[in-house]
């Protein structure tokens, strides 16, 4: 069964270092908490708000050993008025036996406001 594993994180500044570091933190946490192996991933979509332009966050995936061949695509989020700024969102499409209730979706930093019902913050950002 293919399941979507969601995650989001915010950055304080629009600079390449912070974008890549924050995305790597988010991806590693999503991978660890859901015991995801690269070979089980069909694709990964990463979106950013319009105020993030300094780097492609997908570069962070290439820093994770074994994830070189996972298809990943970056895109811009819909610019909804008064939405969360400087936010990076990830949707990972994973082949898994986990039920939807067992999937751990990760929201860090200011992104915890997107899904307060999930409460996954460990204050890493």
The catalytic residue positions are: 6, 62, 74, 77, 89, 107, 115
Q: State the Cα–Cα distance between residues 94 and 34, nearest whole angstrom.
A: 10
Q: Which two tokens stand for residue 71?
A: 């298809």
Q: Which two tokens stand for residue 59?
A: 């570069």
Which of 96, 115, 123 minimizes the C-alpha distance to 34?
96
**CA separation, residue 108 to residues 10, 70, 86 (Å):** 7, 23, 12
**Cβ partners under 8 Å of residue 108, min gap 6:** 7, 8, 9, 10, 25, 26, 29, 120, 121, 122, 124, 125
């Amino acid at each position: 069964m293919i399941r979507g594993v969601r995650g989001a994180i915010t950055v304080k500044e629009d600079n390449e270092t912070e974008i890549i570091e924050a995305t790597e933190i988010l991806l590693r946490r999503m991978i660890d908490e859901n015991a995801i192996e690269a070979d089980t991933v069909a694709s990964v979509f990463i979106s950013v708000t319009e105020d993030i332009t300094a780097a492609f966050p997908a570069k962070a995936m290439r820093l994770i050993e074994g994830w070189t061949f996972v298809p990943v695509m970056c895109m811009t989020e819909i610019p909804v008025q008064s939405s969360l700024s400087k936010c990076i969102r990830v949707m990972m499409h994973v082949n898994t036996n986990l039920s939807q209730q067992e999937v751990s979706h990760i929201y860090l930093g200011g992104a915890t406001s997107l899904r307060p019902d999930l409460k996954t913050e460990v204050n890493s950002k």
